[in-house]
Amino acid sequence: AHKEDNPQKLLDMNRHTPVPHSYDYDLIVIGGGSGGLAAAKEAAKYEKKVMVLDFVTPTPLGNSWGLGGTCVNVGCIPKKLMHQGALLGQALQDSRKFGWQFTEEVKHNWMTMTESVQNYIGSLNWGYRVALREKKITFENAYGEFVGPHTIKATNKRGVEKLYTAERFLIATGERPRYLGIPGDKEYCISSDDLFSLPYCPGKTLVVGASYVALECAGFLAGLGLDVTVMVRSILLRGFDQDIANKIGEYMQEHGVSFIREFVPIKVEQIEEGTPGRLKVTAKSTKGNQIIEGEYNTVLLAIGRDACTRKIGLDKVGVKINEKTGKIPVNDEEQTNVPYIYAVGDILQDTLELTPLAIQAGRLLVQRLYAGSTSKCDYVNVPTTVFTPLEYGACGYSEEAAVEKFGEENIEVYHSHFWPLEWTVPSRDNNKCYAKIICNIQDNERVIGFHVLGPNAGEITQGFAAAIKCGLTKEQLDSTIGIHPVCAEV
Amino acid sequence: GKNEYDLLVIGGGSGGLACAKEAARFGRKVAVLDYVEPSPQGTKWGLGGTCVNVGCIPKKLMHQAALLGSAVKDAQHYGWNIAQPVHHTWSVMAQAVQNYVKSLNWGHRVQLQDKKVKYFNMKGRFSDPHTIHGLTKAGKETVVTAENIVIATGGRPKYPTHIAGALEYGITSDDLFWLKESPGKTLTPFVFNVSLECAGFLTGIGLDTTVMMRSIPLRGFDQQMASLVTEHMESYGTKFLKRCFPTKVEKLESNRLQVTWLNTDLGTEETDSFDTVMWAIGRDPDTETLNLETVGVKTNSETGKIIVDASEATSVPHIYAVGDITEGRPELTPTAIAAGKLLAQRLFGQSSELMDYDNVPTTVFTPLEYGCVGLSEEAAVQCYGSDNIEVYHAYYKPLEFTVAERDATQCYMKMVCLREREQRILGLHFIGPNAGEVTQGFALGIKCGATYPQLLKTIGIHPTCAEEITKLHITKRSGLDATVTGC
């Protein structure tokens, strides 16, 4: 961190035209999520005057949450904790084979889990409020929208409006779940925005969608003992390696999740009110005229997320967005077409929607703006993990993408099924865990894709991602000794 | 005359079997001799060596049993209703583990058969550089000759024979995994990773366990990490008797064992009774009955291990050695396997690739696991000087510990780097759940010459423990608080 006593000089250094106006703030961040908070905290390090605006428009069912964004409140954090709850259910079964004895009947209490998870999230919300205060970042729980050059209007819960000006703006408003646009969707269906704080057990659930959100939620709900069905329009995990996506689906099916493929809901009606109530779902085949009906306690929509960019006044300042997707195109320095307005996180066009990426991009952006850095965020070979019951970690190209980019004859795929040692004694599946690496033959067999399906996939994949960043080749992989006995040595 | 076999391997463990199977791939005539001398307590086992029978495999499975005990406790915080009491039955676990190990013995037998490797269940000794005399349990002798011989007999646990009663009444890891009945209240004197790992899982399944250490734990490992590991075990319930060493073991009328020891701090003699005393003072190379002197294979006078060069060759042409028996090599299954395979490839496959023993990753499977690769902080300081290295570190809390209300005081990681511009990573140390899984990929990175800046450029996977490694930025030098705070 460099403490510059001449801001003018700093601006010159960064090749920005010095501005004669005196603004309320150096930087206003719209959106207090992963990207926004990271950027704000970084800017405060360089003694900039920063404001963060964060506001959660309640869900159709009236649900809302505190500071921290999607990840903390309705994303990664509660998802992983509930996934852990489901894994522990499996661990209870395994433990009997390892000699642990307790009553046959073991039931799960949704409220106990949800309360613990929400308490933890509350502590994170609180932690962020404190951190912003300590770093002297002004925080307003208000909805921000542009009203003119360098000016935004902040409207709080009670409708009180205030105007603020800033030299620069960072849009980090993220996304919200999409609805189907069918009768009954907003009245009776829930989304991931509601699931993690649902004040009653969801019961028999229909999950609509085949995104990682859909599969992760369906996965842990089933793991907690609920009757779960997933309705899929076409393929699973679009954009991910399809070979692995199918293995994930197969595994879930073998472990109690029902799939209805090639159908879409056309109507949701309420049969009975309650917590949960009873809902009737009517669905139509994508391949013909067949209509089916089903009864569920809960319908969870997970068909995708829409960027929160349509109602923040971007037209007033001329920021271009992709009209179809709502996403904002930026250059490789996260700058929009308006030079003093930047964007990071899920709202960016053509990037992976991941917390660590948003954080990294936000931090590096601020370092470039205020600390004379030239480092740009590296969007290549970003690792990710899908926390389905059988976890999937990946970094780099999927097999299809590699074939398309390099040609089938120029890539080599090495693969292996493996049986985690911990699964042997409890007699769990011996041919489901799987790992594959994709190498570019023409580039010294450089590893361009890494995929692992098995327990702790995230922990395994992280290190490999670092190695891939170092230009890992197959030869180096072969010559590295494995740690025994772990899954990662495979 | 012609030798009967192209390759004879003495010792059917990790290194030996890997070498034999690889040689068979090249169409060679290969034989393996494997024999298990029963332990002083009478325990013996099948084909596969230490790792499979009395090492890594049963150890990790019993470690898993202990971890599952913690999982049962955690589960209740996550909403699972489990009626108390919850208790553990040794015999259910032991039988499950032993059955699995036996299936592996069987698997190895089948594999050798499939690959047309001849298997002799015999104890071998040299009569000349190409001739081995093998003796079966029944006393029948067979002579086998081979062009090349690989010694891979591994090691066996040491007994402190100078301590009265140690041999008669104590057991070792050779016996622990095959016990039919619970070991009960257990004492494990001296502290190598074996004893810590065993003490850890014994505590985890509910047994009263005490570790006795004369000086430092985990000699050879990074000492800061070693103390965090033992600190955790202490808070986990394992008792530690520090700076003590046993002087005698006696049997009581009740069949329990009375152990007397000297507390070097207080200078007093203390005593207590236990059901089991398990020695873990190190392992001796299994070379005594091989008759190495006859053929002139040189061993290290202090350790007794076989001296080999970078190509695993001993002092006698055509005689090689791999695995725990070799001097100066890590005592790990994967290195033995890799060395055995490469040796076979050099002998029969026209390869010239030598084994790279640098930056071998390993994991200690204590209740809170410790994974590491590369240099310890002490070794790095010694090698480069403390001014030339930078240590990045962090205390973190695994997400899953939050709801489970588990103590994460010892969840810690550090990266030792060169200080000069490139900042190459010399060593990585991680304590936390799934340490092996976390460490493996980074070991690869270090093999590729990873630098600190490259690590920082790697985006983390969220939420995991491993991602904290990509976010390390507080140095020890700065003296700043290294606790990770929030997202």
Q: Which helix (H) or strand (E) holds A52?
A: strand A50-53
Does residue A487 have a pLDDT over 70? no
Cβ atoms of residues A183 and A189 within 8 Å? no
Tell whether A247 is in a known binding site: no
In this predicted structure, what is the pLDDT of residue A104?
83
How far away is chain B from the Cα of A433, in angstroms, using its nearest Cα?
Answer: 14
- A contact test, residue of B52, B440, B455, B485 with most A CBs within 10 A: B440
Does residue A12 have a pLDDT over 60? no
- Chain A contact set for B464 (CB, 8 A): 385, 458-459, 462
Centroid of chain to Cα A261 = 24
pLDDT band at residue B356 using 50, 70 and 90 as cut-offs? confident
Q: Closest to B333 (Cβ–Cβ): which among A393, A469, A484?
A: A484
- Closest to B373 in 3D by CA, of A414, A394, A92, A481: A481
User: Which one-letter amino acid corresponds to residue A472?
Assistant: L
- Chain B contact set for A472 (CB, 8 A): 444-445, 448
CATH architecture observed for domain A390-479: 2-Layer Sandwich (3.30)
In this predicted structure, what is the pLDDT of residue A422?
77
Distance CA A136, CA B306 (A): 66
How big is chain B, counted in residues?
487
Q: How many CA atoms lie within 13 A of B443 on its CB side?
A: 28
pLDDT band at residue A9 using 50, 70 and 90 as cut-offs? low
Q: Which residue has the tokens 């002799």?
A: B120
In this predicted structure, what is the pLDDT of residue B188?
92
- Closest to A232 in 3D by CA, of A245, A221, A222: A245
Interface touch B442/A466, C-beta < 8 Å: yes
- Report domain extents, chain A: 25-174+308-371, 178-303, 390-479
pLDDT band at residue B141 using 50, 70 and 90 as cut-offs? very high
Q: List the single residue in A with minimal CA-CA distance to B92.
A: A99
User: Which one-letter amino acid corresponds to residue A194?
Assistant: D
Within B240-371, residue ranges assigned H as helices are: 292-295, 333-348
Distance CA A224, CA A217 (A): 11
Q: Closest to B445 (Cβ–Cβ): which among A460, A463, A483?
A: A463
Q: Is the dihedral of CA B244, B249, B254, B255 positive or negative?
A: positive
- Chain B contact set for A124 (CB, 8 A): 486-487
The contacts of residue B205 (CB under 8 Å, 6+ apart) are A99, B62, B65, B66, B69, B88, B90, B93
Cβ atoms of residues B212 and B245 within 8 Å? yes
CB A428: neighbour CB atoms within 10 A? Answer: 17
In this predicted structure, what is the pLDDT of residue B368?
94
Q: Which residue has the tokens 């669905």?
A: A283
Does residue A14 have a pLDDT over 70? no
- Chain A contact set for B50 (CB, 8 A): none
Q: Which CATH code is given to the segment(s) A25-174+308-371?
A: 3.50.50.60
DSSP for A81-128, written as a single string: HHHHHHHHHHHHHHHHHTTEE--S--EE-HHHHHHHHHHHHHHHHHHH
pLDDT band at residue A1 using 50, 70 and 90 as cut-offs? very low
Q: List the single residue in B with minimal CA-CA distance to A375.
A: B457
How far away is chain A from the Cα of B246, in angstroms, using its nearest Cα?
Answer: 32
CB A225: neighbour CB atoms within 10 A? Answer: 16
pLDDT in tens, B111-140: 999 999 999 999 999 999 999 999 998 999
How far away is chain A from the Cα of B272, in angstroms, using its nearest Cα?
Answer: 29
Tell whether B115 is in a known binding site: no
In this predicted structure, what is the pLDDT of residue A484?
66
In this predicted structure, what is the pLDDT of residue B195?
84
Q: Is B383 on the interface with A (CB under 8 A)?
A: no
Distances (CA, A) of B407 to A1, A488, B98, B429, B443: 34, 26, 33, 20, 28
Q: Does this complex have an ipTM over 0.90?
A: no
User: Which one-letter amino acid corresponds to residue A321?
Assistant: I
Q: List the single residue in B with minimal CA-CA distance to A480.
A: B444
Q: Closest to A108 (Cβ–Cβ): which among B80, B399, B449?
A: B80
Percentage of chain B beyond pLDDT 70 is 99
For residues A416-434, average pLDDT: 79
Backbone angles phi, psi at A199, to 5 degrees: -85, 20
Which two three-digit tokens encode residue B484? Answer: 């990770």
Percentage of chain B beyond pLDDT 90 is 82
- Closest to A469 in 3D by CA, of A405, A354, A384, A378: A378
- Chain B contact set for A471 (CB, 8 A): 448
CB B255: neighbour CB atoms within 10 A? Answer: 8
DSSP for B199-216, written as a single string: HHHHHHTT--EEEEESS-
Distance CA B62, CA B173 (A): 12
Three-state DSSP state, B304: coil
Q: Is B102 on the interface with A (CB under 8 A)?
A: no
User: Which one-letter amino acid corresponds to residue B202?
Assistant: L
Question: What per-residue string of b and e applies to B275-290 under the rule 16 or more CB within 10 Å gives b?
Answer: bbbbbbbbbebbbeeb
In this predicted structure, what is the pLDDT of residue B330?
87
Interface touch B462/A470, C-beta < 8 Å: no
pLDDT band at residue A13 using 50, 70 and 90 as cut-offs? very low
User: Are domains B158-281 and B368-478 of this chain identical in fold?
Assistant: no
DSSP for A381-420, written as a single string: S--EEE-SSS-EEEEE--HHHHHHHH-GGGEEEEEEEE--
For residues A254-275, average pLDDT: 95
How far away is chain A from the Cα of B167, in angstroms, using its nearest Cα?
Answer: 30
Distance CA B276, CA B259 (A): 10
Distance CA B346, CA B367 (A): 40
Q: Which CATH code is given to the segment(s) B5-154+286-349?
A: 3.50.50.60
Beta bridge pairs of residue B372: B362, B429
- Closest to A421 in 3D by CA, of B58, B193, B315, B450: B58
Q: Closest to B442 (Cβ–Cβ): which among A102, A463, A482?
A: A463
Tell whether B432 is in a known binding site: no
Q: Is B443 on the interface with A (CB under 8 A)?
A: yes
Percentage of chain A beyond pLDDT 90 is 83
CB B45: neighbour CB atoms within 10 A? Answer: 21
pLDDT in tens, A320-338: 999 999 999 999 999 999 9
Q: Tell me the average pLDDT of chain B.
A: 93
- Chain A contact set for B480 (CB, 8 A): none
Does residue B412 have a pLDDT over 90? yes
User: Are domains A25-174+308-371 and A178-303 of this chain identical in fold?
Assistant: yes
Question: What per-residue string of b and e applies to A118-153 under the rule 16 or more CB within 10 Å gives b?
Answer: bebbeebbebbbebbeeeebbbbbbbbbbeeebbbb
Give the CATH fold of the A178-303 domain: FAD/NAD(P)-binding domain (3.50.50)
Interface touch A359/B461, C-beta < 8 Å: no
pLDDT in tens, A86-119: 999 999 999 999 999 998 888 999 999 999 999 9
Distance CA A259, CA B364 (A): 42
Cβ atoms of residues B462 and A72 within 8 Å? no
Q: Which CATH code is given to the segment(s) B368-478?
A: 3.30.390.30
Q: Is B104 on the interface with A (CB under 8 A)?
A: no
**Where in the sequence numbering do the catalytic residues of A fall?**
484
Question: Crossing angle, helix B333-348 and helix B14-25, to 10 degrees?
Answer: 30
pLDDT in tens, B89-106: 999 999 999 999 999 999
Cβ atoms of residues A214 and A266 within 8 Å? no
Q: Which of B77, B232, B462, B473 is catalytic?
A: B462
Centroid of chain to Cα A71 = 7
DSSP for B88-150, written as a single string: E-HHHHHHHHHHHHHHHHHHHHHHHHHTT-EEE--EEEEEETTEEEEE-TT--EEEEEEEEEE
- Report domain extents, chain B: 5-154+286-349, 158-281, 368-478
Would you tell me which residues 188-217 of chain B have a C-beta closer than 8 angstroms to some C-beta of chain A? 205
Q: Tell me the average pLDDT of chain A.
A: 91
Interface touch A485/B57, C-beta < 8 Å: yes
In this predicted structure, what is the pLDDT of residue B193?
76
Q: Closest to B82 (Cβ–Cβ): which among A81, A103, A224?
A: A103
Q: Which helix (H) or strand (E) holds B284?
A: strand B283-285
Cβ atoms of residues A326 and A307 within 8 Å? yes
Tell whether B282 is in a known binding site: yes
pTM, two decimals, is 0.91
Tell whether A161 is in a known binding site: no
State the burial class of residue A296 (Cβ atoms within 10 Å of its Cβ: 0-12, 13-18, 19+). buried
A420 compared with B398, residue with greater pLDDT: B398
Distance CA A363, CA A42 (A): 6
Interface touch A459/B437, C-beta < 8 Å: yes
Q: Closest to B486 (Cβ–Cβ): which among A124, A384, A456?
A: A124
- Closest to A81 in 3D by CA, of B486, B395, B463: B463
In this predicted structure, what is the pLDDT of residue B486?
62
Cβ atoms of residues A264 and A185 within 8 Å? no
Distance CA A207, CA A219 (A): 10
Which two three-digit tokens encode residue B104? Answer: 């592996």
pLDDT in tens, A266-324: 999 999 999 899 999 999 999 999 999 999 999 999 999 999 999 999 999 999 999 99
Three-state DSSP state, B272: strand
Interface touch B444/A467, C-beta < 8 Å: yes
For residues B433-439, average pLDDT: 92
In this predicted structure, what is the pLDDT of residue A6?
52
- Chain A contact set for B457 (CB, 8 A): 378, 469
In this predicted structure, what is the pLDDT of residue B108?
95
Interface touch B72/A425, C-beta < 8 Å: no
Interface touch B56/A485, C-beta < 8 Å: yes
pLDDT in tens, A117-162: 999 999 999 999 999 999 999 999 999 999 999 999 999 999 999 9
Interface touch B56/A484, C-beta < 8 Å: yes
For residues A1-11, average pLDDT: 48
Q: Which CATH code is given to the segment(s) B158-281?
A: 3.50.50.60
Would you tell me which residues 21-50 of chain B have a C-beta closer than 8 angstroms to some C-beta of chain A? none
pLDDT band at residue A11 using 50, 70 and 90 as cut-offs? very low
